[in-house]
Amino acid sequence: MGLFNKLKKAFNKKDHIESYDKGLEKTRKEFVSELSLLGLKFNKVTEEYYEELESILIKADIGIRTVESFLERLKKRVKQESITNTKYLQEVIVDELFMIYVEGESLTDKIMIAESGPTVILLVGVNGVGKTTTIGKLAYKYKKEGKSVMLIAGDTFRAGAVPQLKEWAERTDSLFIGKENVDPASIIYEGIEKAISENIDIVLIDTAGRLQNKVNLMNELEKINKVIGKHIENAPHETLLIIDATTGQNGISQAQSFKEITNITGIVLTKLDGTAKGGIVLAIKEEVSLPVKFIGLGEGLNDLKPFDIEKYIYGLFKDMM
């Protein structure tokens, strides 16, 4: 059974994918309606069909490189299976887009949790992508799961960053460590020591988002990583890059830049509900080989969801099922 039919069976009677359904509505409306119209316009698979399909995929922000390799695979499959019916081809498209994400290098979307002691999660990203809000939502998620949480304000020089994070700590009943205008590594050192002595489960660390001067930021992150690693072996356990989905391909170049300066383990894609370009999820995997670990599907505290590729594909294509 192809993925298309598997998803149809799996999710049609369940309501637990509601947030994906609602969060991907903008992309689905634009993307799927154009895809459906394409199926009506052409009753045979022709070169023109492929050209229009390419344009639809690029508009959904899947990324030119990803689209090119996807079309190559699709044409090969059409030839092998002698597919002529464009209605059936739509199901094949869903299958093949899913395969882009799951094939090749195995990327886990699970957060690595430390076997003992605090799990340290470092959050990086340019200013304005929703980093502090994401930290607050993660704190809320882990508190709800019964874990103790500490927030450390490592973005010490940006006006308002420390009090903003402190507010999230109060809101989520998390421990807070932070001072303005001090060396980020020193405040993180203090926080990690306290987290160990107080047996904290999850430590979430905010960092500066000044990408204009890569060398300075790289040195700062190196220093922070050393401080954390000195106290807790194999930490940070995750370094998550926050990307605003509404910035589209700009988000891809941010991912490439941050990958050059520090060891990124995964992506948090915010504001996916606010864009019709939800195909960026596939472009990230294909172009920067990083797993998406969380996606933001709304403003509420509960709207930061662990990423699930099957729910994502269903959320994109449910109107065709």
Structure tokens, 153: 């304000």
Secondary-structure class of domain 14-102 per CATH: mainly alpha
DSSP secondary structure code for residue 112 in this structure: P
Domain ranges of the chain: 14-102, 119-308
115-128: per-residue pLDDT in tens? 999 999 999 999 98
Work out the average pLDDT over 259-285: 93
Task: Give the class (CATH, top level) of 119-308.
Answer: alpha beta
Is the pLDDT score of 135 beyond 90? yes
pLDDT digits (tens, 9 = 90+) for 290-313: 999 999 998 899 999 999 988 898
The average confidence (pLDDT) of the chain is: 91
pLDDT in tens, 53-62: 999 999 999 9
Confidence check: pLDDT of 87 > 70: yes
Confidence of residue 28 (pLDDT cuts 50, 70, 90): very high
267-296: average pLDDT: 92
For the segment 27-38, the average pLDDT, to the nearest whole number, is 90
Q: What pLDDT, in 10s, does the model give residues 197-227? A: 999 999 999 999 888 888 999 999 999 999 9
Residue 12 has pLDDT above 70, yes or no: no
CA distance 95 to 266: 24
Phi, psi of 20 (to 5 degrees): -65, -40
**pLDDT (average), residues 21-39:** 90
Mean pLDDT of 174-185: 97
- Check if the beta carbon of residue 308 is closer than 8 Å to that of residue 11: no
Residue 146 near residue 198, CB atoms below 8 Å: no
Residue 15 has pLDDT above 60, yes or no: no
Residue 10 C-alpha from the chain's centroid: 23
Hey, what amino acid is at 170?
Answer: E
Predicted pLDDT at 9: 67
Query: Using CA atoms, how far apart are residues 71 and 16, in angstroms rounded to an integer?
Result: 32
Give mean pLDDT, residues 147-162: 96
pLDDT at residue 206, rounded to an integer = 98
Answer for the pair 202, 151: CB distance below 8 angstroms, yes or no. Answer: no
Per-residue model confidence (pLDDT) at position 43: 87
